[in-house]
A and B are shown apart, each in its own frame.
Chain A
Amino acid sequence: MADELDPSVQTDAINAEYKYPFHWDLDFSLNIGEDNRKFFEGMEEKRILGKKCPDCGATFVPPQAVCVECYVETDEWVEVEQHGVVESYTACFFEFEGLPEPPYITAAIRVADSDICMLHFIDGIEYEDHDELVEKLHKGTEVEPVWADEREGHIRDIKHWEPVEK
């Protein structure tokens, strides 16, 4: 669309005499709580943990401290199978700050029998363009995690997920 500015053009580059630039550079450190700490500890050991609701029996991977349906604290930890199913996916072809070099795939993955999904990357799929990608990946595609060699208790201790070889 020739009449629209390219996303790379900076705000300050246009009508600069009307602009008053300033910078806001802040550091934060979140308290993650006990459940997240335990989950990430599992990740370091290549284990995927979830929690179960004592009332309805739902399993949450990643763990949720409270079941939103029952409004009770989840209490039972389970280690789940390292197997996921793609619920939805998208491939990004543009670069955004803080995200990988495109193209890359983000998917909503249902891990084991979890009642909720985990967002993560899918890799290990060869594709030239989006048409090819659409043919290769679907709702229901089975995936498994690929672990990072060096893990530090982070969701990216799983480098990405990739389709299960059949």
Chain B
Amino acid sequence: MSRDVAVVGVGYSEPESFTDYRFSTQSKEEQAFTAVTNALDHADIDADDVDATMFCTVDGFEGTFRVERTLEVLGLGNDVPVLSVNTGGTAGGSGVKVAHEYIASGKYDVAVVYGSPSFDSVVEAQPVMNTNADPLFERNFVTAIQMGALPSSGYMEISGATEEDFAEVAAKNYRAGARNPYAHRNEERTVEEILDSPMVCWPLRRAMTCPVSSGSAAMVVVSEDIATDVRDNPVWIDEIDSTSNTFWTGYRTYDWFPKLKELSDQVYENADIDDPLEEFDVAETFNPYIPFEMMEYEALGFCEKGEAKHLVRDGVTDRDGELPVNMSGGTLCTNSGICASLSRHSEVVLQLMGEAGDRQVEGAKKGLSHSWGANLGQFHQMAIFSTER
């Protein structure tokens, strides 16, 4: 038995909660209650009708290994399974995949996927992120920023992409973030301002890397019968899949995302996508370090390997381009906490519902979302959403 599965509700914590984690004042439970309630209200579904919940985060930042208690104290774990999903930056996408498979199988009808504001407990996030890497060898030489910088630096050498190209992509994200009330960074920045920001780790300047943010997201995923019952514009999950890479980064090419190319080839084959640039109306990709967005254009088949610079220079992925990408402001501007990995999916859903506010791309009918996570791209996650099934 396999049923069609749709998203019928998206909710975020209050716009003010999308801030530097140090300014955050709400408890984990307060943020979760707001986001989940907003998603359930949006879906017109009662909390009592929820069959299963997926709690998406990364362990280590909250000073406990019982991170999913956030949902349990709200009663969302009473009498239903609470599954904790921890696949780094892809945790939110993995949660949507688990929800999709549960519902497609007929096991459950209504699932809530929750993306936690993981980072807003720890005083200093970097030492926790550093535990991502292999302890005997790799951890001695890197923290999260080097894991973003090594492939970015390598990519410049193979592609001829420049710092100016990266700044152009970042500026596009800042322009988009300025339209998004749920963006942490919500002011436009010029290419010049971005190139003037301090160099953190070559070639990444501060304005090209995500901040440590707060803010959370929730999504309601349901079976086909319920979807058509509760709303007239459900968004269908056409295809959703994930892949894993080696934990050790020593196996990587450090200049591109070949695993994402393998995943997108498979996902497009399953979903009958021949020309992603032409067929998608909107896309959200994981860009905590801005050069990633360009590597992702290529690995996701928007252009050939090494050619993303032309998409950037020609504005193909800007608001008025052929395929607007990261019209939320992306991970760079929204919330790099685990919320970000669900927001990539929830933002595409809002676009297809026609409910993305000032960031709406008119007439969007088919969209792609992607997330990247764990130890230097250990995981990739992709979903294709559609207004039709």
Given contacts A30-B136, A32-B136, contact A119 B255 (CB under 8 A): no
Q: Does B130 contact A (CB under 8 A)?
A: yes
Q: Does A130 contact B (CB under 8 A)?
A: yes
Q: Does B207 contact A (CB under 8 A)?
A: yes
A36-66 contact mask (Cβ, 8 Å, vs B): 1 or 0:
1000000000000000000000000010100
Check A98–B130 contact: CB distance below 8 A. Answer: yes
Check B123–A11 contact: CB distance below 8 A. Answer: yes
Chain B minimum-CB-distance residue to A121: B141
| Residues from 126 to 146 in B contacting A, C-beta threshold 8 Å | 126-127, 130, 135-138, 140-143, 145-146
Residues on the B chain within 8 Å of A87, using CB: 154, 253-255
A77: shortest Cβ distance to chain B, in Å? Answer: 17
Interchain CA distance A36-B13 in the complex, whole Å: 46
- Of B25, B140, B150, the residue contacting A18 (CB under 8 A) is B25
Chain B minimum-CB-distance residue to A91: B202
- Specify which of B23, B130, B250, B254 lies most central, judged by the most chain A CB atoms within 10 Å of its CB: B250
Interchain CA distance A137-B56 in the complex, whole Å: 40
- Of B22, B150, B151, B251, the residue contacting A106 (CB under 8 A) is B150
A-B contacts, CB under 8 A, total: 139
Check B135–A5 contact: CB distance below 8 A. Answer: no
Chain A minimum-CB-distance residue to B247: A68
Number of A residues near B (Cβ < 8 Å) is 49
Check B252–A117 contact: CB distance below 8 A. Answer: yes
Residues on the A chain within 8 Å of B157, using CB: 88, 138-139
A136: shortest Cβ distance to chain B, in Å? Answer: 12
Q: Which stretch in B192-200, B262-270, B361-369 binds the other chain? A: B192-200
Interchain CA distance A106-B153 in the complex, whole Å: 11
- Of A1, A108, A121, A130, the residue contacting B202 (CB under 8 A) is A130
Interface residues of B (CB under 8 A from A): 20-25, 63, 122-124, 126-127, 130, 135-138, 140-143, 145-146, 149-154, 157-158, 185, 187, 189, 193, 197-204, 206-207, 211, 246, 248-255
